[in-house]
Chain A
């Protein structure tokens, strides 16, 4: 069925790097804006980054700008998040989401998430 599956999470030391992936299936990946959202333990949702269908337009939350890089490979139906200079406060479940085709950004289809833990 239509789904998103995240991978690449794990335990990393402060200052380290990690690359998350999101594999899309059963829809035309290249037709949609995509978004990463995270949720720290016991807290609410925090938007991280979004990328246009072509990859030409990218948005970042202030908290990750300059440290994280979003990218996509439409031929592989995959979304990525390169995370550098990781901090303890980046510890969270990271969700990949497909955005609704209408105006603005509305994450309509979510993956199950992958856990990133930043700790020494």
Chain B
């Protein structure tokens, strides 16, 4: 089945840029969605269809996807961005929703 590898952790200093990757065979051909899950909270959609932002999500959050890698970029990182981030696709070959394993973003 389709697998979406993510790095387990990413560490960044406040004010810097965090990039979280999501791998997958030809993931650039799929629509990729990203979720933020703060400790003790439910996940929340932060990027959908590769690069669209839901209302209320800061412009600091952006997404891109090409080839075998999708990337969530968080600019000017703040302490409140510390969370787990998950990528997700719909695998039309298996009719399954696939989540990446998640990346823990730590803000030093």
Contacts and interface: CB of A to CB of B under 8 A. Distances in A.
B98 A107 contact: no
B79 to A, nearest CB: 23
Contact of B102 (A44, A106, A107): A44
Interface stretch (A11-19, A72-80, A108-116): A108-116
Interface string B85-105: 010111010011111111000
Contacts of A46: 99
A21 interface: no
Contact of A45 (B31, B43, B89): B43
- Summarize B's interface: helix, strand, loop or mixed: strand
Nearest to A102: B49
Contact of B101 (A44, A59, A102, A107): A44
Contact of A110 (B33, B44, B89, B98): B44
Interface string B31-45: 101010100001111
A37 B43 CA distance: 10
B90 A106 contact: yes
Nearest to A6: B42
A35 B49 contact: no
A108 B31 contact: no
Contacts of B43: 37, 45, 95, 107, 110
Most interface-central of A45, A59, A110, A113 (chain B CB within 10 A): A45
A108 B42 contact: no
Interface residues of B, number: 26
29 contacts: A37-B43, A44-B84, A44-B100, A44-B101, A45-B43, A45-B86, A45-B88, A45-B99, A47-B96, A47-B99, A50-B97, A59-B95, A59-B96, A59-B97, A95-B43, A102-B31, A102-B49, A104-B31, A106-B31, A106-B33, A106-B48, A106-B90, A107-B43, A107-B88, A107-B97, A108-B45, A109-B45, A110-B42, A113-B42
Minimum-distance CB pairs A-B, first 6 = A104-B90, A47-B97, A44-B102, A45-B99, A105-B90, A110-B42
Given A45-B88, A106-B45, 9 more contacts: A37-B43, A44-B84, A44-B99, A45-B102, A59-B96, A95-B42, A106-B31, A106-B48, A109-B45
